[in-house]
Amino acid sequence: MAGRDELPAVNEFIDTLGVAAFDHAVDQDGSLWRTYGITTQPSFIFIDDSGDTTTHLGALGLEGLSERLEALSR
């Protein structure tokens, strides 16, 4: 989720970071943030094959993100 912003700003974020290959959600009213307990950026929501979610507030870095994604692919 690119963040709580207007669509043009979200699209600029996606273009600037070159992350268009990922799905993005626009959360203009904050409802997704509330649903997943997000209070700050950066934050990550990981969804496994069964639909269970894990929320991580704060930065992960490349190693931390890679470890989380690898764990999901097992």
Handedness of CA 34, 37, 41, 42 (dihedral sign): negative
pTM above 0.75, yes or no: no
**Are 39 and 57 contacting, i.e. CB atoms less than 8 angstroms apart?**
yes
Q: What's the confidence (pLDDT) of residue 20?
A: 87
User: Whole-angstrom Cα distance, residue 66 to residue 74?
Assistant: 13
Coil, strand or helix at 46: strand
What pLDDT, in 10s, does the model give residues 2-46? Answer: 567 788 888 888 899 888 888 888 888 889 889 999 988 888 889
Among 18, 51, 49, 21, smallest CA distance to 36 is for 51
Q: Is the pLDDT of residue 51 over 70?
A: yes
